[in-house]
A = this chain, B = another copy of it.
Amino acid sequence: MGDLTVSIHNLKLKNPVLTASGTFGYGLEYDDFMDVSLLGGIVVKGTTIHPRQGNDYPRMAETASGMLNSVGLQNKGAKYFATDIYPNLLKYDTNILVNVSGSTIEEYIACAEIINELDHIPGIELNISCPNVKEGGMAFGTSCASIEAVVSAVRKVYHKTMVVKLSPNVTDIGELARSAEASGADSLSLINTLMAMAIDAERRKPILSTITGGLSGPAVKPIALRQVWEVAKSVKVPIIGMGGIMNATDAIEFFLAGASAIQVGTANYLDPMITLKIIDGIDDYLNRHKFSSINDIIGGLQV
């Protein structure tokens, strides 16, 4: 067994496999299938200060090797999370991060302040890249000025590990990554979903109620790898890579490109135990290639 532990700022992860926000609920939904505590960490559902109903149905479209969603951050709000969900998560021996979102900087701050009080939540993932909400969301993640504004504002009130989740829908992700780092991000995660669209030709209507939505799944992996690679060249903080990871080989590719940890998203829908298989597969790879630690391959692409 190789050494799978990695550090993301102050977080010590027993292995580099986390679950992506919006694809793993609060972990609880997976109790029937697996021991959630075996994971390096889980990132819970997008959370906002006020409860959100999310978008109308339909919210999903299947695409070639992928899917679109336009859930739109449906959640019962940060206070409900703190009082009704958080206590149930204490049973898990893993790092639980809350994915924090908002329509205004004030909302981000208010939400982060509530999460900051929760002892067993060692970090947040600041979602400045959700393509499925009308105001805020992705808009924050597409310019240096707005990234600086929201990241440094939250940095003032949030004192544990702050991961900033970048949007892939941009011209120069390296530049935006540097903004986020300079504004106080302890780590960067990417990619969120790509803005996309599906049409029902027979009915001549968009499939999603919101017309456009976010693309995820193996279709996006090549784009995600490229962006992780670019961000890894641009910043010093550790990177959490994701986008289309379906198996251990995919995960290894992200480590080689420069990610210190990875998140698994859409793949959880197809196989709820996939994260455990990926952990095993990473270990296998290290053994086969005679690496004693996962850290030996992070950024190890030979170019």
Contact = CB atoms under 8 A, between A and B. Distances in A.
Interface stretch (A39-47, A99-107, A148-156, A196-204): A196-204
Contacts of A61: 222
Given A201-B253, A204-B300, A206-B303, A222 B66 contact: yes
Interface string A216-229: 01111111011001
Interface string A164-204: 00000111100000000000000000000011111101011
A94 interface: no
Contact of A252 (B142, B171, B196, B201): B201
A66 B223 CA distance: 12
Contact of A249 (B66, B201, B226, B252): B201
Contacts of A302: 203-205
B197 A171 contact: no
A197 B64 contact: no
Interface in A57-95: 61, 63-66, 68
Contacts of A211: 229, 303
A222 B63 contact: yes
Contacts of A205: 301-303
A61 B253 CA distance: 14
A196 B135 CA distance: 29
A212 interface: yes
Counting chain A residues whose Cβ lies within 8 A of the other chain, the interface size class is: 35 or more
A264 interface: no
A3 to B, nearest CB: 18
A16 interface: no
Contacts of A256: 199, 201, 204
Nearest to A212: B226
A107 to B, nearest CB: 23
A302 B197 CA distance: 14
24 contacts: A63-B218, A64-B218, A64-B219, A65-B219, A66-B219, A68-B222, A143-B171, A194-B223, A196-B225, A196-B226, A197-B222, A197-B225, A197-B226, A197-B229, A197-B257, A198-B222, A201-B249, A201-B253, A204-B300, A205-B303, A211-B229, A215-B222, A219-B219, A219-B220
| The 4 residue pairs across chains A and B that have the minimum distance between CB atoms | A196-B222, A64-B218, A219-B219, A197-B226
Given A199-B225, A204-B256, 8 more contacts: A64-B219, A64-B221, A66-B222, A68-B222, A142-B171, A196-B222, A204-B297, A219-B222
